[in-house]
Structure 1
Amino acid sequence: MPEIETKKPLDRRTVLKGAAWATPVVAAAAALPMASASTPACPTCIKAGLPLVGGLIAGAWTSQAIVAGNRGTIAMPAVFGIDATACGISWQNIFQPAFTFIITQATLTMSDNRTYNSSVGLGAGAGNISTIGPFAGGFVFNNVVLPNGIDAGGLIGYGTKPTKLTVTVKTTLQYGIGLSIECPMVLNWDLHGFATGAVAFGLGTVNFSGTATA
C-alpha cells in the first residue's frame, strides 16, 4: 500500500516572514499614483491681458514706421501683459500669489499675412494672481514689408497694417513648500487699427494707431 504524504501546516513565522517581504512592494506600488497626483496641472486662468499703462486706455497703441526700400520698423508699446484675475485666491487655488515668467517669442502678423519676430522685449518678468501685470517693455519688429501706397486723404487708409500679436510665455508657479511647476502658454491679441501715410518709390512714412482685444 503506497504511503500517503501529509502536508505540514505552515509555520506562523514563515507566513509573517513572507508578508514582511511583500508589504514594501505593495506599499511602493500604492505610493506611485499618489506621487503623480500630487503634481498640479497648469492653471487655465492665466490669459492675455491689457493693463492700463501710463494713463493709456487699455489696449490702445500707436506706432510710426519710417520706410526705406519698402521696409520699416514697427514698435509695439508696452500696453500688453498677463491677466491672472480669473485665478482668484481661494482654497481651490493651491498656487502662491506671485509667479515669474519668461517671454521666449513675440510675433507680429500683418494684414498681408506676413509674420515678423521681435528681438526686443523678450526675457524675464513677474506677475501676481488676481492682477493684470504689464510686460516689462514693448516689442520691436524690423524689416516689415510696407509696399507703395497712399491713404487717400485718410478716407481709405494705407493698405498694410498689423492685425495680430502673439507672445509665447513660460510661467513658473510656486506651490507647497519649495515646489514649482513650469507652464508654457501662447497669448494672442487681435489688433484693430488704422494706417495713414504714404509710401512712394519705396520711401515714406506710415503711422499706425488702434486698439487691441485679448
Structure 2
Amino acid sequence: MSESKTMGSGRPAVDRRTIVKGAAWSIPVVAAAAAMPLASASTPACPTCIKAGFPIIGGVVSGAWTSQALVVGNKGTIAFPSIFGLDATQCGISFTNIFQPAFTYIVTRATLTMSDGNTYNSAAGLGAGAGNISTVGAMPGAFLFSNVSLPNGGAIAGIPPYPVVPKTLTVTVTTTLQYGIGLSIQCPMTLVWDLHGLATGLVFLGTGTVNFTGTATV
C-alpha cells in the first residue's frame, strides 16, 4: 500500500514517482507537437494531373480550328482561336487533400511547329489565367504567329493541297497552387496539342492565300 504524505500545511504531497511517471508520458506528446510545424511547412511536389485540353465553347467541346494566311514575300500570319485550355478535371481527392481547388497560371510561351520543321513563337495570347479542378480553363487569349514561311505551291482548286501545314502547338505555363495556410508553390508545365493541319490555296511568286483547317487532339 502506498504511503500518503502530507506537507506542513496539511495538504497532500505529490509523490516523486508520480512526477517522473507524468513526465515520461508527456515526452511523446511534446515530440509530436514539435514535429507538426515541420510537417506542415514541407513543400509538396508539383502535381502531374493538369493536362492540355479544350474548354467548353458555346456548349461544345471541340478542337476544330481554322485560319487564313495572306502571303506576301512567302511570309504569312497564322492565328489560332481560343480553343485551347488547361484541363484539371482529372485532379481528384489526392489533389484537394494538398492544394486548393482553384489556381492561377501565366502563359509564358506559345510555339507553333510547322510540318517543314520551322518553329514560331506567338507574341499574343500570353498572360495570366485562372483554373479550377472542376473545369477546363480557356487560355487568356488567341495565339498569333507572324512571319511564317509559306513557300510557293498548292493550287486554287486545292489539288494538289498546299504542302506546308501547322503540326503542333506547344504552350509553356507556370501555375501557382495554394496549400496550407497562406502557402503556395509555382509549377512550370508544358502542354502540347497535335493540330492535324490541312491546307488549300495557292502561293505563286511569293504571293497568295492559304486556308488552314484542322482538329486538334492531345
CA-CA distance at 1:150 after TM superposition: 1.3
Aligned-residue sequence identity (percent) comes to 70
Select which of 184, 190, 198 maps to 2:188: 184
Distance 1:188 1:67 in 2: 27
Distance 1:51 1:135 in 2: 9
Written as runs of structure 1 = structure 2, the 5 A alignment for 1:1-214 is 34=38, 38-54=42-58, 57-89=61-93, 93-151=97-155, 153-214=157-218
CA-CA distance at 1:151 after TM superposition: 3.7
Q: Tell me the amino acid that sits aligned with residue 56 of structure 2.
A: L
Structure 2 length normalisation: TM-score?
A: 0.79
Moved more, 49-58 or 106-115: 49-58
Moved more, 93-102 or 166-175: 93-102
RMSD over equivalenced CA pairs, Å:
2.3
CA-CA distance at 1:211 after TM superposition: 0.6
Structure 1 length normalisation: TM-score?
A: 0.80
- Measured against aligned partners, the alpha-carbon deviations of 1:152-181 in whole angstroms (never above 9, x if no partner) come to 732441001100000000000001110101
Distance 1:122 1:177 in 2: 30
Assess if the C-alpha contact under 8 Å between 1:89 and 1:130 holds in 2.
Answer: no
Distance 1:167 1:91 in 2: 23
Distance 2:202 2:58 in 1: 30
Unaligned runs of 5+ residues in structure 1 are: 1-26
Count of aligned positions = 186
CA-CA distance at 1:149 after TM superposition: 0.5
Distance 1:199 1:152 in 2: 9
Unaligned runs of 5+ residues in structure 2 are: 1-30
Moved more, 124-133 or 200-209: 124-133
**C-alpha distance 213-91 of structure 1, shift in aligned 2 (>3 A):** closer
CA-CA distance at 1:56 after TM superposition: 5.7
